[in-house]
Amino acid sequence: MNIQKKQKSEKNELVIQQIFEINKTIHEPARLFIMAVLYQSEEVDFLFLLNETKLSKGNIATHIKKLEEEGYIKVKKELLNKKTHSSYSITESGKECFKNYIENMRIILEKIY
């Protein structure tokens, strides 16, 4: 009986540990959306993210900057119709971190229920 209690307690500790070890950069909803979209696509532009998330321009730019600083996404700037056009794609390290994040979340959710 005590062994079972001990095992259960260890399991709970592991889940708690895993929850706190989750990638906080990706876990934020707007950044999670951006990462998920970039993971499934080749390239998206700023306007697409703006229209899909309904967030403000400044807000999106902040999230993009954060992801870029972490090395998860690549930014490409070009001049289109006399305006600067920014498009984004996921890096290899971004793909790896996103896959790990999804796997960790799956394990956590399985253990919670």
Partner 1 sequence: MERNLNLKQQLSAKAERDGLTEIFFGVFLFLYSDLITTIMDFSREKASLTIFILIFAFSGNIINFIRKRITYSETGYVGIKSEIKPLQLYLVIFPFAFYPLFIGIMKYVFGQNEFASAVTYFSPIVFGTIFFFLYLSMYKSAKNIVILIFAIFSPVCAVTAFLFNDTLGKNGYALFFTVNGILLIVYGLVKLFSLMMNSRKNESEQK
86 DSSP β-pair partners: 77
Whether the CB-CB separation of 60 and 50 falls below 8 Å is answered with yes
CB nearer to partner 1: pick between 17 and 51: 51
* Per-residue x/- track, 49-68, partner 1 (CB under 8 A): xxxx----------------
CB nearer to partner 1: pick between 9 and 59: 59
Q: Which stretch binds partner 1 (CB under 8 A): 14-22, 24-32, 38-46, 57-65?
A: 38-46
Closest approach, Cβ 25 to partner 1, in A, equals 19
Closest approach, Cβ 100 to partner 1, in A, equals 18
Whether the CB-CB separation of 101 and 27 falls below 8 Å is answered with yes
Phi/psi of residue 21, nearest 5 degrees: -90, 0
75 DSSP β-pair partners: 88
The residue from 41, 56, 93, 100 that contacts partner 1 (CB under 8 A) is 41
Q: How far is it, in rounded angstroms, from Cα 97 to Cα 59? A: 22
- Provide the terminal-to-terminal Cα distance of the chain, rounded to the nearest Å: 22
Contact residues: partner 1, CB under 8 A? 36-37, 40-52, 80-81, 85, 87
